[in-house]
Amino acid sequence: MTQDEIKSTLEKALPDSTVRVDDLTGGGDHFQVWIITPAFAGKSLVEQHQMVYGVLKDALGSEQIHALALKTYTPEQWERLAAKS
């Protein structure tokens, strides 16, 4: 699964989201993903990550994605984080 495919899949599953995908090793199977979406509102960090893993479960199960580092935020959390920078 390519960076673009991961991004597209997550954007379709989590409407109104902003998604960034980086290939951490250049090998096409270790990724870091930033997702900002209102769908995470009221959810714990674990629940947010479970949502993402659920969307990508086939790629994770087949090891098309071997490693996945997640950074998940609501739009409000992202704004607070950006304000600190």
Residue 64 has what pLDDT? 87
Please give the structure tokens belonging to residue 32. 């870091």
Range of the domain at 47: 3-84
Residue 58, token pair as written in the block: 């086939």
Query: What is the value of pTM for the model shown?
Result: 0.89
Q: What is the structure's pLDDT at 11?
A: 96
Residues 6+ apart with CB under 8 A from 24: 30, 31, 32, 67, 69
What is the secondary structure of 14-65 as a DSSP string? Answer: STT-EEEEEESSSSSSEEEEEEE-GGGTT--HHHHHHHHHHHTHHHHHTTSS
Here the CATH number for the domain that contains residue 50 is 3.30.300.90
- The mean pLDDT values, 10 residues at a time, for the chain of 85 residues are 94 95 91 96 97 94 91 95 84
Domains contained in the chain, number:
1
Write down the pLDDT at residue 13: 96
Per-residue model confidence (pLDDT) at position 84: 85
AA letter at 2:
T
The per-residue pLDDT for 63 is 85
The predicted pLDDT at position 3 comes to 94
Q: Tokens standing for 13? A: 């599953």
pLDDT for 8 equals: 96
How is residue 38 written in tokens?
A: 């209102």
